[in-house]
Structure 1
Amino acid sequence: MNAVVKRVARSTPAVDSARLGRLAIASLHAELALAPKPGLVTPFDRGSHHDMDAGTFLRSLFALRHYFIAVADAGAGAAPFQTLRRHGIAAEISMLHATAGINTHRGAIFSLGLLVAASAACWGRAGRVAAAEQVCQEVRRWAPELADAPLDANSPGQRARARHGVQGVREQAAAGYPLLREVALPALRHALASGLPREAAMCQTLMQLIACVDDLNLLHRGGADGLRWAQRQARTFLDAGGTFAPDWQVHLRRIGDGFVMRRLSPGGSADLLACSLFLLQQEQA
């Protein structure tokens, strides 16, 4: 008698939107907790900011906790870009309500939100987690809609972008985030693989980003001269060994003093750092 072979259909694992949402918030919290960071808010100081502190950021993160789950659900369901945009607009309103009008995470709502949706889309299509670089490239699917979406021409970042003729996060997203694929992710992976603690690896990655990003926050606060000064400081730090050097924290604090004196804050680079950490963490099933 021939044995009857029963074939059991394998179901595709459902996208864990809650996990992706938690990873997004955890990545933003890890960036906030990181210290020392030149000009940026930490749990210990305000950096170059007089209108916000760590408590402001924590209130913002609490307000955003449902947003990243919502965009993950939208990405998994192949929702149109306008759905993602509506979630982002609602998240920005929640953020501003929680912070009394202070912009703490507008850049992260945009970039990290798109990457969370892209991660969920890749997972939903393939039934497994995707490589970080693949997630970045997935964002390119929304390039036409990104080009047509309205801009707030009066925002500080957009004014700096227009004045100095540089690309912003919209162009980065439409191109599949080359700064993440070519700078942040390789730097973070190398630092972690070399045995650096996560905090040191993140500081190394942040300085790699500051060294090469046309950061709109730096341009807004310091103009072209401020941006170039910040980039030179980052390159000097990296040339001295970066966080692989035994005295790196002393060196980075000294650089941070210069940022504060000039009121410079590399917020765009900080957003990309949080995005790179999320992208590596979402690779782990």
Structure 2
Amino acid sequence: MSPLSALRPRPEEDVDRSSSADMIARAAAQALRLELETYPKPGLVSPIDSGSHADMDAGTFRASTAAITPFFGDLARAGAAGAPMPALRRIGLQAEAAMRVATGGVNTHRGAIFGLGLLCAAAGALPRPIAGALGALVRDRYGATILEGPVLLHAPGARARRRHGVGGAPAEAAAGFPSLYRVGLPALQRGRRLHPGDDEAARVEACLALIGHIEDTNLLHRGGPEGFAFARAEAARFIAEGGIGHPRWRLRAEALHRAFIARNLSPGGAADLLAMTLFVDAIEGRP
């Protein structure tokens, strides 16, 4: 039996695919909203400020989320139908076009459309996924074609991957989002244990843990190897020194936020993975 066949729902577990796709789209939108509402996140946009960005604010992200939400439902339905990667790419490009109309051309969610979109397709294919199932399905069904697909040569992330020899978001997705499962979710759960009832604090913990771990091409694009190394080291130090368990964690996180802004650093890849972590947490369930 293949890994995928073991994950497929039995006939008696089937659900109304249309209503399930709408639920998945709502969960994706909520994950994006919660990521936006989280503060402090070093260098990133929130309702408090625009971080290291002069061309976008919280309103830009809210407009973008509203514009792309229907496409997450389309991706879920495509996943339920077993659609191949080229079909998912076509939906993703439509979502990106809608995003740019809503934001006046600003790229707010291209990375999230890619990663969260793949997870929506997996959720559509697996109405009742067990822990780890969404990432496994993305890896097994789409992994090879993710890496073989067309590359936007002039996109900042693609340029950073070529210049610095890192895998970035495509490699993360093709592998089944290991950083999400090994870093993001454990940090989110740890944060909830440290601050019961304060889910924003738990999201900060997850965000900083991801910044300290992943090869974020947004950081490489904006800060080069030096900025990338600074961001990862400082985020890892925040976690190593107690994270949100430190009595002055919020002041420390705000200071790190200002340091990222001073260096024009924005860990957009970690922000995308934080939203994906929140989505998987909601869909696969908490331990």
Q: Which amino acid aligns with 2:55?
A: D
Query: Which one has the largest radius of gyration?
Result: 1
Q: Which residue of 1 aligns with 2:41?
A: 37
TM-score by length of 2: 0.91
CA positional deviation for 1:14: 2.8
Q: Which residue of 1 aligns with 2:102?
A: 98
Deviates more, 1:147-156 or 1:191-200: 191-200
CA positional deviation for 1:43: 0.5
Are 1:120 and 2:119 an aligned pair?
Answer: no
CA positional deviation for 1:241: 1.1
Deviates more, 1:235-244 or 1:104-113: 235-244
Structure 1's 11 and 202: CA in aligned 2 closer, same or farther, altered over 3 A?
closer
Query: What SS class does the counterpart of residue 167 from structure 2 fall into?
Result: coil
Q: Which amino acid aligns with 2:136?
A: Q
Q: Contact between 2:194 and 2:244, CA under 8 Å: does it hold in 1?
A: no
Choose which of 75, 81, 84 in structure 2 pairs with 1:77.
Answer: 81
Q: Which residue of 2 aligns with 1:55?
A: 59
CA positional deviation for 1:283: 2.2
Query: What SS class does the counterpart of residue 255 from structure 2 fall into?
Result: helix
Are 1:109 and 2:117 an aligned pair?
Answer: no
CA positional deviation for 1:192: 2.1
Q: Contact between 2:222 and 2:266, CA under 8 Å: does it hold in 1?
A: yes
Q: Which residue of 1 aligns with 2:151?
A: 151
Are 1:135 and 2:134 an aligned pair?
Answer: yes
Are 1:250 and 2:251 an aligned pair?
Answer: yes
Deviates more, 1:62-71 or 1:76-85: 76-85
Structure 1's 11 and 101: CA in aligned 2 closer, same or farther, altered over 3 A?
closer
CA positional deviation for 1:76: 1.1
Query: Unaligned 5+ residue runs, structure 1?
Result: 1-8, 124-128
2-structure distance, mates of 1:30, 1:219: 25
Q: Contact between 2:195 and 2:201, CA under 8 Å: does it hold in 1?
A: no
CA positional deviation for 1:240: 2.1
- CA offsets, 1:120-156, max 9 Å, x none? 1122xxxxx2134111111011122212211011111
CA positional deviation for 1:189: 2.2
2-structure distance, mates of 1:81, 1:202: 30
Q: Which amino acid aligns with 1:156?
A: P
Q: Which residue of 1 aligns with 2:90?
A: 86
CA positional deviation for 1:193: 4.0
CA positional deviation for 1:212: 1.2
1-structure distance, mates of 2:276, 2:126: 16
2-structure distance, mates of 1:245, 1:133: 30
Q: Which amino acid aligns with 2:135?
A: C
Deviates more, 1:73-82 or 1:45-54: 73-82
Query: What SS class does the counterpart of residue 126 from structure 2 fall into?
Result: helix
2-structure distance, mates of 1:92, 1:183: 28
Q: Which amino acid aligns with 1:270?
A: A
CA positional deviation for 1:284: 4.3
Q: Which residue of 2 aligns with 1:12?
A: 14
CA positional deviation for 1:11: 6.3
Q: Which residue of 2 aligns with 1:26?
A: 30
Query: What SS class does the counterpart of residue 64 from structure 1 fall into?
Result: helix
1-structure distance, mates of 2:63, 2:121: 23
Q: Which residue of 1 aligns with 2:186?
A: 186
Choose which of 37, 45, 50 in structure 2 pairs with 1:46.
Answer: 50
Q: Which residue of 2 aligns with 1:163?
A: 163
